[in-house]
Chains A and B, each alone.
Chain A
Amino acid sequence: MIAEFGLAALWLAAALAALQLIAGALALTPRGAALAGLVRPVAVVQGVLVALSFAALITLFAQTDLSVELVAKNSHSMKPLIYKISGTWGNHEGSMLLWVMVMGLSGSFVAAVERRLPEPTMLATLAGQAFVSLGFYAFLLLSSNPFTRLSSPAIEGAGLNPLLQDPGLAFHPPPLYIGYVGLSVAFSFAIGALVTREVGPAFARAMRPWVLGAWIFLTLGITAGSYWAYYELGWGGWWFWDPVENASLMPWLAATALLHSVSVLAARNALRAWTVMLGVVAFSMSMVGTFLVRSGILTSVHAFAVDPERGSFILGLLALNIGGALVLFGLRASSVTEGERFTATSRESALVFNNVMLSAILGIVLVGTLYPLLAEALGAKVSVGPPYFNPVSAIFAVPMLLVLMVGPLLRWRRDSLRRIRLQIAIPAVLLVGTLIWAASQAVGLLPALGLALSAALAVASVMPLRGRKLRQVKLPVWGMVTAHFGIAVALLGMASDAAFTTERLVAVRAGQVVDVGPWQVTLQRIEPVAGPNWTALRGDLAVSYKGGSVTELHPAARTFWAPPNETNEAALKTRWNGQLYAVLGQATGDGRWQLRLWWKPFVPMIWYGGILIALGGLMALLGRLASDLKRLVARDKIAYRRMRQGR
């Protein structure tokens, strides 16, 4: 029953999306004006229905209903409940349903609360949102139905990829999806604005909370994903430039650029066409990323088994949505390009520079991700990795970070560097000083630059608060300062990981001591342990920092049997100044065990930085929402007074 209910709700939601599209489009014509009142309620109900459909799927997974093909393929009765639930979206069909659900719910939300846009733009936006959703509904209902029943129920489920059986991975897709799909709202806004040619500060203010919200979730999702890759893969690295990682980085880069250009549009009515373009690009990158990951045309450490038929379907959607939006952009953008002017030394210029650099980094990540495909089309097999991505992205990231230290200090429209020379001088001295020190430590060019930029940016990012009464500083400014400081913190983590990590790969007997950096590590014993659906060999390590107190670490090699797979559970010991990372390897056969140890100074700063960046976004969002609310209340008061006077 539950499966049939879920499927019915999904069909109904799809039908309502069709209605939303048709009514919205007709309502824009003079004859269809009567339909205008229909669009918002339909959008709300559509969102509710798709959410019910998703809830039905979660229920099926929680109950391990093996008569449903998707559950039988991706779950197992022996699995812990939280992984049964996370199994709902740990597969192709379920994650697509999650995607449509987030899209439907954000559509409901826009329809229910957004009152700032002119009504025609709103109608066009909701119609655009329905158009994009319809493609995904068609995809689910025609090619990837999550509710298909098996003719005879399976005896037992096939399981879930054990790599996914980890709290970090089980729960990092939903924030990422909220981020990806939140950008679909920005996309629909851009479409709506292009259709009605209403690109101005009101449009930017309506779009900004959505971009901010999506960006906060993307930032958190990427941070969590990176930490997951760091400890679950057991490779000791935190970013591998894997296609799946790039698939989330590219929309983030576009959204970061969009976030800044939307601010320029809201405050200064400039960068109109550019903001609309980024609105299209940001969501396009979500879709392109999803396509690249799901179509299986790129190889990745994350296994998603997908067939070309589904790949073609997503490609068709991609061509229709993005291609359509870009055609609209080509036709309409020339009538929205102009805006307010500004001089070369101004807040606007700094933000334009940041936009160009972010777009350039986006471009090189995209090219690097697609290059293996291009090479294969030309008959060669290559893989592109950190040797390309690191230096090439640094070419654009370094100047961007330098301008980032100055930009927030500049005034809108026109300013002079002389006015802020003191605020620039302090970080500049710090930059050069750190660079000289780093060079004396012989840590390599990129890590040295990273350390120097991090130190200078940490100071420069709080400069906008200088000379102000801190209580009166508005929340969005605090948000900006926090996010920029977060970048400095993350950069410190990345640079010190690259500069100062020490690694040991040893084969040891029980009782032997190994030194890695300031740590002494003793292998005490190896013992078997059993979990709910795995068995493992676990190492007992006694570790002490510089001969201090001894604590235990337990790296393990787990063996899952449904489906059979082995994972390495790294063990981490975190101190304020870094992390000890231990991985248990194979037995060498003569009673010794391989042990891989890393001492990584300041590496957790990468993720603390990510959290700070997201927190900054949250502060900005709350600040904006609060001032919007204030304005709304004031408007209502005026309207109320007028109404009483009218009587």
Chain B
Amino acid sequence: MSETKPTARWTLWLPLALFLGFIALVMIGLYRPADREVASTMIGKPLPEFTLRAAVADRPGLARADLADGKPRLLNVFASWCVPCAVEAPQLATLKAEGIEIAGVAIRDRPEDVATFLARHGNPFARIGADDRSIVQLGIGSSGVPETFVIDGKGTIRYQHIGEIRPEHVTLLREKLKEAAQ
């Protein structure tokens, strides 16, 4: 190259410096403890008033009064079309086997689909309400499926678990139920 001018100039390193600054910034953003999940603002508050028809033939429907009978229980928001809901089925079965009562809310589902889902993955629910228009779901501050709420004997929401229940979450839920019983 005829007009080569081999002087190293600091400006040529400026883009790299800016880029390193960018990397540093997003590293902070990426590794800072995430608080991006949408926690319900209903925690610590009583459940809203609702009555849901039965989602399947062999279980009764669900109303607020059913959840305020003095016994703490889990309220599981699920749907037959939801893949993670199938993932958490064994954990729900474990909890039920320990004598914990679980109420279900089926979101935007058809009775035959719910029945197929339960036949395949087991039915841990004592009652299942059909929430066809997500009214109860929105009312308790849930933003997706699956979510699981710990309800104490007076119908107050004590704890919210977002996403599927994996084996490592079972102990925590058990403890939260114990706390709710006191």
Contact = CB atoms under 8 A, between A and B. Distances in A.
A334 B83 contact: no
B1 interface: yes
A312 to B, nearest CB: 6
A327 B14 CA distance: 10
A296 interface: yes
Name the interface size band of chain B: 35 or more
Interface stretch (A150-158, A259-267, A593-601): A150-158
A424 interface: no
A329 B31 CA distance: 30
B81 A373 contact: no
A155 B120 contact: yes
B134 to A, nearest CB: 6
B97 interface: no
Interface in B61-90: 79-83, 86
A330 B16 contact: yes
Interface in A562-581: 562-564
Contacts of A291: 26
A373 B5 contact: no
B23 A319 contact: yes
Contacts of A280: 15
A281 interface: yes
B6 A335 contact: yes
B30 interface: yes
A289 B76 CA distance: 38
A561 interface: yes
A311 B31 CA distance: 10
A157 B79 CA distance: 12
A496 to B, nearest CB: 37
Interface in A150-169: 154-159
B78 to A, nearest CB: 12
Nearest to B10: A330
Contacts of B16: 323, 326-327, 329-330
Nearest to A318: B23
Contacts of A562: 81
Given A288-B22, A564-B108, A158 B83 contact: yes
A81 interface: no
A295 B81 contact: no
A295 B32 CA distance: 13
B12 A323 contact: no
A295 B134 contact: no
B83 A370 contact: no
A376 B29 contact: yes
A292 B36 CA distance: 15
Contacts of A197: 1
B1 A336 contact: yes
B15 A315 contact: no
Contacts of B108: 561, 564
Nearest to A334: B8
Nearest to B144: A563
Nearest to B131: A564
A562 B1 CA distance: 63
A73 interface: yes
Contact of B15 (A157, A329, A377, A563): A329
B28 A156 contact: no
Contacts of A322: 19
Given A155-B117, A373-B29, A338 B15 contact: no
Interface in A285-327: 288, 291-292, 295-297, 299, 308, 311-312, 315, 318-319, 322-323, 326-327
22 contacts: A72-B83, A155-B86, A155-B116, A157-B81, A157-B83, A158-B82, A158-B83, A159-B81, A277-B15, A299-B36, A312-B30, A315-B23, A315-B26, A326-B19, A329-B15, A330-B16, A334-B12, A335-B4, A337-B5, A370-B22, A373-B25, A563-B81
What are the 3 A-B residue pairs with the smallest beta carbon separation, nearest first?
A: A326-B16, A338-B3, A297-B29
Interface of B: 1, 3-9, 12-13, 15-16, 19-20, 22-23, 25-32, 34, 36, 79-83, 86, 107-109, 113, 116-117, 120, 133-134, 145
